[in-house]
Amino acid sequence: MIKGIAKLILALNGNVSKTQIAAGFAWGVLLGLVPAGNAFWIVLFLLSFFFTHHHGGKIAALAILKIILPLLAVQIDKLGWYILHIDSLRPFFTSLYNMPFVPFTRFNNTLVMGGLASGIILWLPVFFLFVAIIPFYRNTIGPKIKNSKIVKTIAGFPLFSMIDDMIKD
Confidence of residue 105 (pLDDT cuts 50, 70, 90): confident
Global pTM value: 0.78
Confidence of residue 83 (pLDDT cuts 50, 70, 90): very high
Average pLDDT over residues 118-125: 94
Question: Residue 29 above 70 pLDDT?
Answer: yes
Confidence of residue 76 (pLDDT cuts 50, 70, 90): very high
Average pLDDT over residues 14-42: 87
Domain that holds residue 149: 2-168
CA distance 146 to 57: 20
Question: Residue 152 above 60 pLDDT?
Answer: yes
Confidence of residue 127 (pLDDT cuts 50, 70, 90): very high
CA distance 88 to 69: 29
Please give the tally of structural domains in the chain.
1
